[in-house]
Structures are given as structure tokens and as C-alpha cells.
Amino acid sequence: MPEQPATEAGTLRDSALDASFTGFFIRNHLDVETFLQRLEADRGMVEDVSQEAFIAIRAKWQDVQHYDDPRAYVMGAARNILRRHQARRGRTPTLFFDDLSMPEIAAPETPREAADRLAGWIQLLPPRMGEVMSLTHDGVPDRTIARLLGISHNTVREYKVEGRRKLLQLAQDDGFVVPAGRRRK
Amino acid sequence: MNLDDIIELAAARQPSALDRARGRRAAERVLREYAEATAEGRNLLGDLDVEDVLAPHVDEAARIRRTAESAQAGWVQWDAATGGLTWSDEMSRLFGYPAVATHVARDVLLNGIHPDDRDRVRQAVERGWTRRAPTDVTFRLLRADGTVRYVQCLVELLSPDGRNPTGIIATGHDVTRRELDRQQHTRRLRRDRLNGADHGHRPVAQCPVDRETFLRMVDRAAGSGPGALLVITVEPAGSLPAGRADQVTRTVAGVLSRVVPDTDFAGMLSPAEFGVFFHDLETATAQATSVHHQLTLTTAGGVRLRARSGLVACTGEVPVSGHDLLLDAMWAGREGHRGRPSALSVLAGPRSARARTDAVRMEVGAAIRSGRLRLHAQPILDLALNEINRYEILLRVLDEADRPQPPATFLAMAERGADIVAVDRWVVRQSLAVIGSGPQTAHYQINLSGRTLSAPGLADFVLRALDEHEVDPRMITFEVTESAAIGDLPAAVVFAQAVRRRGCELALDDFGTGYSSLSVLRRLPVDQLKIDGSFVTGLTRSPFDRITVQAVVGMCQALGIRTAAESAEDAATVELLRTIGVDFVQGYAVARPRPLPVPIVAPRRDGPAFLDRATG
């Protein structure tokens, strides 16, 4: 069988892969884009990178579909591609904190606005810490983050503590201090 | 609302029907691109890990090393149990060693790090071990061949079971390019911020511009095509209320900035003289007439203005400097005036160089002979003693109404030819005569043009005059005004040495502008350096000016040169200059210049009355 040239069987197998990949894509592509948005403010680059990552995943989908956590795997691949794109663009260093003259920031009203606000803060973290925080917000477990980013488990846990502290500071600087009182948990 | 509320709200995002439709289209696009790429045989995987990196791997350290290597990063690992250090080929190369040994000695690592960065790296490793804190550290590697590379490393604790630490691993790569970009960006930011802060009080497009800028602009305009230069001398038709003397200047500046179109430009040549350059030769006369007319209709402080204007056209075919055009326009204004209160006269083209030179010589000579030159003295505050113990002697030229005017135009005119030497000699002789007739308790500073400085026989002339008027040389400083380049620097050095040997001091004037440069400072044995007023007027507002002045003062202190600041306009500036460590300050905040009496023959020991007031 494996020796056979591309035949009807092969086409059938490809269609099956296409179908399961499409399902996977529709379930996860928004998560991947949101994940990338927290690492890169340029929406155009985020879309390009997301597309490139999914094309590469499709090429490996036969294997990837059986991985422990295909979604996390895509995020890891997308992150690598993103860093490559960013390096190619040249490092226009991100704004320093004191460069920003912050206008009054309105409280987000929709989930989308809230996600954008959160992304804006995570973008200001050191790159690796931002990656850890972004994956954490997508519910990726610590061990998986450590493996995806090639860092130690201890580093992930330390970065989560430090990252949360910095995010709280950033939120506070933007005037988000008082709990809304509508949290039910 | 706080961080947790926002995180919760963000997590509540549900894909809408629109999102789902968009998702389906995007999936189709990905599949289409995939099919095209495979048909073309393109490699889609790039550096994508072909294994499931998420599958449980043997050992944490091995996993980190593998990821580092696939990302072309180097690593170095310390094992707590054995105390051994191992590194990768890539890390070995970063340190400048051939990739041969897997083990590395601690000293090799430490010595490879730039001495200034060693402590920081050591601290990062210690923090990683004792406090379990991962640290990103950027440091320099000093390689055996003398080159320096910037490396960024993540130093992290290894703890496979999540509890017990087993060692430290540092992974990193060369970031030299990026680090240099970052430093450049930081420098740029600081530079822009300093300049940006300046814009608050110094508008970019000033109208009218200052004299030097204006002449530069006229030079460029006259060299590149046709145009016409209008020079207007303005005076109030009656006497202005006390303290409103600068009202005329401000009024005219306001009128010019309003009536001169954006395509042309205007400049202030002196408080009473203004220039306008018109690019369109066809309409220049009409425009000049209109500007002239506007000014004669204007009142300043309730008094009408009189304007005397001269317009000179240039075709752009014959090269002519901005300064020559200026002389011609002024000459036209004076010649056409002839007793009428207000007039505009037009010159069809620049005069010949010969005619111009002769006219200047006659005019300078006439001014000296007919006694139209006057000396004023501006008090200088010694900041260390907080007393006025010096004066700068300034030249003034009497205008038609016998009012003393600052000689910017007169001197610029004289400096073009050799006439400035005659003017300077007159100033030296006259000043020393006045000083010699006084009590000689104060120090005097006398201006000499860079051109005069290299004139033959100047040193002898000055030394003779000192003797003749019995002036104590130690009470005299000669200020070298570098509005024109010193023609013959060796001759200037000879003069400087001669007068300093006698005990006089030498000051370099207008430092920071024009020809007053560091190389002149190196060659001339200067005792005092006068910082140009343009760095002083905005000192309290401009961080740029403050940093510059601080650095110049620091440099001078190290060189054993005293510093002076001109144009201090308020008490806050004087205080700031004192804090910075400037030695002398002059300007309206200290005192305005006052006339020096003219007696050439005067009873000795009977000083000018104003001196008693000023020093007392």
C-alpha cells in the first residue's frame, strides 16, 4: 500500500485529512490569533503568521492530529514563525513606558474590547514572559508551556507570578483598580 | 473594574456567526494555499519541530538543550551534583573558541565575560540558584581576538521534579545587532526629546529669522536664481514712552510675519533693521512697496513709524553674496532717502565690487573721523564673589538722530574689508585712554575681530598704547570675536603670546557659533571662554542648552579656562549659571550697557562717574 502512487485511496485520505483539519481550524484559529495578538500589535502580521502556521500544520496534520495537545502545538509553531517575522521586520523596539502619554482609557464593554485591552498589556511584558502569560490565558498547562518554549518548568511558574504582578501594575496605571463587584466566583 | 474583571470578560468571548463564517473561509484559504504549495514542491515545515515536542521527554535539561540547539542558540549547563560545567558548540563559538570541548572551566567562562558585566552575570546565576528566579541577562563577551559581542541569555533553574533543584542552565544567542539598534534608538529618543523640549519656546519656522540665518538664506536664494532683497530701517516718528524702546522691533516683526508670504522670508538684522527676500523678480517692486507702505501706516506704542527702504534686484546670473546684496540694499535706502522721512528706493542690480568696497571704506572712515563712534560699557558679574568687577567695552554707532545703535551691520560691513582693523584700533586706543584716566579698580574686556588679530603690528600697537596710557595690563582682557575666520592663525598666536606675556588675558567670544570652534580653542592660549548668548537665553527652559553649557563649563574647568555667559535675561538664569559653575555672567539681568564718557584728555584719578555707581 505505501508503495502505491497517488491514487484514489490517497485522494480519499487527503479529503479526510482536509475535513478533520477544517474542523480543527474553525475550533481553534481564533484562539491562535488571540494568542498572537498578545505578542504583536500589528494585526496584518498576526494574520499572516496565523495563516502560515496553519498551512505548516496542515502539512503535518496526519501526525499532529494525534498529538497530546494539537492546539498548543500550533501556538508553539505560530510563536516561532512570529518571532522570525518580527526579526525580519527589524527590531523597532517597543515603546518604553515613559514614551506613552496615556489618554483616559475607557472600560471595555465587550469581550472583544477586554481581550484587546489585555493584549495591549501583555505586549508590554518582556517577550518570553508575554509568551508565558499569553499561553496561560489560553489555558495551556505549565508543563506544556515549558516544553513549547523550551524553558524550565520552574521558569514558567516564576514568570507567571512575576507576569501577574506586572499586569496588575499596568492595569493599575491605566486606572483599572477597583473590582467591579460583579464577579460571581 | 480591575485586571481580573477584564480577564474574565475577555474569556467570555464566544465566536459569533460572523466569526464562524469567516473561519470557514479562512480554512478554505489555508487548504488552497497548502495545495498550491505542495504542487510546487515547497517546503512548508521550515524549522518546525518534526516530533511532538509535547510528548513527555526524558529529562528537562535535555529538552531545553534540544530546543536551544534547534533555534541555533547556545547553552551552558551547571550540574549541582557533579559541579561540572558543560557547554554547546554554539556557546563555545560565541565565546570565541573552536567547538572542540564539551566541558569548560569556570574561569574560562568568567574571563570571557566583559569585566564590567561580570558582576551582573554572577548575580543572575546566584538569583537563579538561591531564589529560583529566572533572569534574562544581556552582557558583553570579550573574545580572545579582542572583538566584543553582545549576548542575551536566559538563566534558569533546573528542577525536573518541580521541587528539588539540580542545576542551572543558561541558553542564549548573539544579539549584537539588536543591542546596537536598541542603543541607537535610546540615543535617538533622548536626542529627540531634548530637541522637542526646545520647540516649546523656539519655533521651528521663525519669522523673522535672526541675522545670520537670514544672510545664509539670502546667500542660498541669490545663488540659485533671481530675486530681490528689501532692507528696511525703521524708527518711531516721535519719542516712545520710557521702557517701550523695544516696542518698534516687536511691532515690525509682527507686521512682517503677517504680510510676507510663505514663499518668501524675512529676517531681523538689528533691532531697527529688517530684511525681506522676494523670489519673484517681476512682482518684487510691487510687493516691496506694499510692505514699506504697511509699515508707514503702523504705530508702535502709539507712535507712527518711519521707514527707509532699499530694494536691490539680482538676476541670479552674476554670483553675489547675501552680504553684498545687503550692503547694496542699505546703500540704496540711504542714498534714496536724502531728507525725506519715508522712502523706498530701488536698485536695478548689484553694484560692482569696487564701488561697494570704496563706499564702505568711505563710510567707515567718515564714521571714525566725524566722531560717530561711541563706547559703552556693560557690567559683568563675578559669580564667585558676587560683585561687578569687570566691564565689556562695546561699540555703538550714532544714527542720523545721534542715537547710539548696536553696530552689527556697521561691523559686518567693516569686517568685509580691512576696515575693521581701523575700527578695532580706534576702539583699543579710545578704551585704553578712558581706562588709563580712571582709578583702574575694575577689569575691562575689549573686543578684537579675528581679522584684526592677525594684522601686522597689532601687538606692538597694543603694547605701546598700554604704556602710553599707563594702563595695568593685568586689568585688560582682549576678546577675540570670531565673526570672520582668523585669517592667519599663527600671527594671532604670536599676538596672543605677546599680550599675555605682558599680563593681559585673552577671551574667546561667541563660543558655540560661527567660527568660534574647539580647534581655535586648542591653538589660541585662551584664559576665558564666553558662551554665546543663544545658549543662555533659553537655559532655564531648554534641557539641550543646559546639558551643552554644563559640558562646556566642565571642559573649561579641566582645561583651566574660566567661563562667561552672555545674554542672561533673568535672575533664574543667573542662579542656574551659578549652580553650573560659570565664572562670569553679563546681560540685562545684571545690567544694561551704559555710555563710557569720551574724554581723551582727562584728569587722572578722576574716574567716570558711572563706575562709582556700578561698583558701589
Reported as a single tens digit per residue, the pLDDT across B218-238 is 888 888 888 999 999 888 877
Mean pLDDT of chain B: 84
**Taking a C-beta distance cutoff of 8 angstroms, is the pair B482, B518 a contact?**
no
Q: Is A25 on the interface with B (CB under 8 A)?
A: yes
| Closest by Cα among B363, B364, B361 to B335 | B363
Burial class (CB in 10 A: 0-12, 13-18, 19+), B314: buried
Per-residue pLDDT of B525-565, as tens digits, reads: 899 999 999 899 889 988 889 999 999 999 999 999 999 99
Rounded to an integer, the average pLDDT of B254-274 is 84
Report the pLDDT value the prediction gives residue B75, as an integer from 0 to 100.
Answer: 95
Q: Above 50 in pLDDT, residue B569?
A: yes
A26 vs B5: CB contact, 8 Å cut-off?
no
DSSP state of B261: -
Chain A residues touching residue B46 (CB < 8 angstroms): 56, 81
**Intra-chain end-to-end CA distance of chain B, in Å:** 69
Task: Indicate whether A101 pLDDT > 70.
Answer: no
Is B185 an 8 Å CB contact of chain A? yes
Q: Say how many C-beta atoms besides its own lie within 10 A of residue A132's C-beta.
A: 29
pLDDT tier, B243 (very low <50, low <70, confident <90, very high otherwise): low
Of the candidates B3, B44, B169, which has its C-beta nearest A171's C-beta?
Answer: B3
More confident residue, A77 or A184: A77
Instruction: Return d(Cα A32, Cα A26) in angstroms, integer.
Output: 11
At residue A104, does pLDDT exceed 50? yes
Between B19 and B124, the higher pLDDT residue: B124
pLDDT at B269 (0 to 100) = 84
Q: Do A151 and B159 touch (CB under 8 A)?
A: no
Does residue A17 sit at the B interface (CB-CB below 8 Å)?
no
Instruction: Pick from A155, A165, A172 the residue to mutate for testing the B interface (most B CBs within 10 Å).
Output: A155
Would you call the peptide bond into B208 cis, given omega within 30 degrees of 0 as the criterion?
yes
Angle, CA of B111, B116 and B120, to the nearest 5°: 85
Q: Which whole number is the average pLDDT over B413-439? A: 86
Task: Check CB contact under 8 Å for A150 and B64.
Answer: yes
Q: Of A97 and B275, which is predicted with more confidence?
A: B275
Average pLDDT over residues A50-71: 91
> Which segment, B54-58, B146-150, B181-185, is predicted with the most confidence on average?
B146-150
C-beta neighbour count of B468 within 10 angstroms: 12
Side chain identity, residue A117: R
Q: What is the pLDDT of residue B407?
A: 78
**Mean pLDDT within A64-83:** 91
**pLDDT on residue B615:** 35
Instruction: Decide: helix, strand or coil at residue B350.
Output: coil
Show residues of chain B in contact with A126, CB under 8 Å. Answer: 136
Query: Is A133 within 8 Å of chain B by CB?
Result: no
Question: Rounded to whole angstroms, how far apart are CA atoms B515 and B523?
Answer: 13
Q: pLDDT band for position B298 (50/70/90)?
A: confident
Residue of B nearest to A110 (CA): B9
pLDDT at site B245: 66
pLDDT score of B487: 64
Kindly state the average pLDDT of the residues A119-130. Answer: 91
Residues B107-125 have a mean pLDDT of 93
- Return phi, psi of residue B159, to 5°: -155, 80
**Is residue B203's pLDDT more than 60?**
no
Percent of chain B, pLDDT > 90? 37
B343 within 8 A of B337, measured Cβ to Cβ: yes
Q: What is the pLDDT of residues B445-482, one digit of tens each?
A: 999 988 888 788 899 999 999 999 999 999 999 998 76
Q: Look over chain A and give the mean of its residue pLDDT values, rounded to a whole number.
A: 84
In the prediction, which pLDDT does B347 show? 86
What pLDDT score was predicted for residue B47?
Answer: 63
Q: What is the pLDDT confidence band of residue B603, given thresholds at 50, 70 and 90?
A: very low
Say which residue, B608 or A92, is predicted with more confidence. A92
Residues of B with CB below 8 A from A69's CB?
A: 54
| Predicted pLDDT at A100 | 45
Eight-class DSSP state of B163: S
Domains annotated on chain A, with CATH: 12-92+99-173 (1.20.140)
| Residue A136, C-alpha cell as written in the block | 496561560
Would you call B258 exposed, middle or buried from its count of C-beta atoms within 10 A (0-12, 13-18, 19+)? exposed
pLDDT of residue B168: 95
ipTM of model: 0.83
Q: What are phi and psi of B405, to 5 degrees?
A: -120, 145
Question: B523: buried, middle or exposed (CB in 10 Å: 19+, 13-18, 0-12)?
Answer: middle
User: Which pLDDT belongs to residue A97?
Assistant: 43
Give the residue from B14, B156, B177, B182 with the most A CB atoms within 10 Å of its CB, the best one to mutate. B156
* Residues B83-91, mean pLDDT to the nearest whole number: 94
Query: Does the structure show a pLDDT above 70 at B431?
Result: yes
Tell me which amino acid residue B152 is: Q
pLDDT for res B599 = 46
Q: How confident is the model at residue B249 (pLDDT cuts 50, 70, 90)?
A: confident
> How far is CA B343 from each of CA B296, B304, B313, rounded to the nearest angstrom?
10, 15, 17
Digit-coded pLDDT (tens) for B370-389: 888 999 999 999 998 888 99
Which chain A residue has its CA at the smallest distance from B184's CA?
Answer: A93
Q: For A142-171, write each residue's pLDDT tens digit.
A: 989 998 899 999 999 999 999 999 999 999
